[in-house]
Amino acid sequence: DTFQQLIEAAGGVVMERSGKEDDWGIEHGGQVKHEVGATRMGNDPKKSVLNPYCQAWDVKNLFITDAAPFVSNADKNPTLTITALGWRTSEYIADQVRKLNVKV
């Protein structure tokens, strides 16, 4: 209903509405197409598994660069965000290797 109202408020016309069987909202674990949040990233090791660069707080040479670091699931496919996060993390790893902070 909200989406229909937004379309109509913008001057658009809703051509058809999805039925309940097409409702792809947030579901219980194992029921969504893109599982996220298994190893959340954050600024506080007491509230997250990974630092903001997807590096484990407790295992310094462990980096996780899939959807697991996300703190929640968006309603869109996360592939490009996963790619961007992986790229950013790989640049961080390369920088840390140059500084001799991470062993390879």
What pLDDT digit, counting tens, does each position of 38-77 carry?
A: 899 999 999 999 999 999 999 989 999 999 998 887 777 8
- Percentage of the chain beyond pLDDT 70 is 83
Query: Could you tell me the pTM of the whole model?
Result: 0.65
The type of residue at 55 is Q
34 carries an active-site annotation: yes
* Whole-Å CA distances, 45 to 26, 34, 50: 27, 25, 7
Query: How many contiguous H segments (helices) and E segments (strands) does the chain have?
Result: 2, 0
How many Cβ atoms are within 10 Å of 89's Cβ, its own excluded? 20
What's the confidence (pLDDT) of residue 19? 62
Q: Which of 9, 14, 34, 86 is catalytic?
A: 34
Burial of 48 (0-12, 13-18, 19+ CB in 10 A): middle
For 55, phi then psi, to 5°, come to -95, 130
